[in-house]
Amino acid sequence: MVDLAVVGFAFGADWYWRIVENAGAFGATGARACLIPLARLARGLFVVDDIAARPDDRAVDLRINGTAIAIDVGIDDARVSADRFVTALNRHLRAVDHAFALVVPRRYQLRGVLLPRAVLADHKRDPFVLAPSDRATYA
């Protein structure tokens, strides 16, 4: 089983407060903040590039292995927007046999984790996983 407390990348403390404590906006700017380090994690597995937040902060554009993708993030409370983004991103990551999650392994810590689909069942009920909140999106 993958230890979610040590894999992936850590977000700055301000993102923890925005998303976990719902104290700020997420929007496409937040989605971009997830995608840039995700692109580094994906190197050697697949390519994530051309990442751009739209000026209205409601959607993010990117490419996964050359396929252009637009994800509507919306501007709701930060936790809802982050969850919507992760769920939509995972629909696209199925094509490369991976999934993304936001995890809270410790209080005041938020991590982004890239997981191979082969290990998703291990984390279906993992209490560390904040988003996607509906683990059915892993299936």
Task: Tell me if 3 is assigned to some domain.
Answer: no
- Please, what is the end-to-end C-alpha distance for the chain in angstroms? 18
108 or 53, greater pLDDT: 53
Is the pLDDT score of 98 beyond 60? yes
Establish if 1 belongs to a structural domain. no
| 32 lies in some domain | yes
pLDDT for 58 equals 94
* pLDDT recorded at residue 110: 92
139 has pLDDT over 70 = no
Token pair, residue 68, equals 């252009």
What pLDDT is stored for residue 31 in this prediction?
95
Q: Which domain holds residue 69?
A: 9-138
What is the pLDDT averaged over residues 90-105? 94
Query: Which string of DSSP letters, residue by residue, matches 99-119?
Result: EEEEE-SSTT--EEEEEEGGG
Beta pairing class for 59-64 and 98-103: unpaired
Task: Give tens-digit pLDDT for 116-130.
Answer: 988 877 877 788 888
For 17-75, write each residue's pLDDT tens digit: 988 888 888 999 999 999 999 999 999 999 999 999 999 999 999 999 999 999 999 87
Q: Considering the domain boundaries, does residue 103 fall inside one? A: yes
Within-domain flag for 2: no
Quote the number of domains for the chain. 1
Pair of tokens at residue 54: 């739209």
Question: CA angle, corner 132, sides to 7 and 2, nearest 5?
Answer: 25
pTM: 0.91
Nearest to 104 by CA among 114, 96, 112: 112
In a domain, 4, yes or no: no
Collect contacts of 124-127 with beta carbons under 8 A, ≥24 apart. Answer: 126/4
Please state the rounded mean pLDDT for residues 76-86. 90
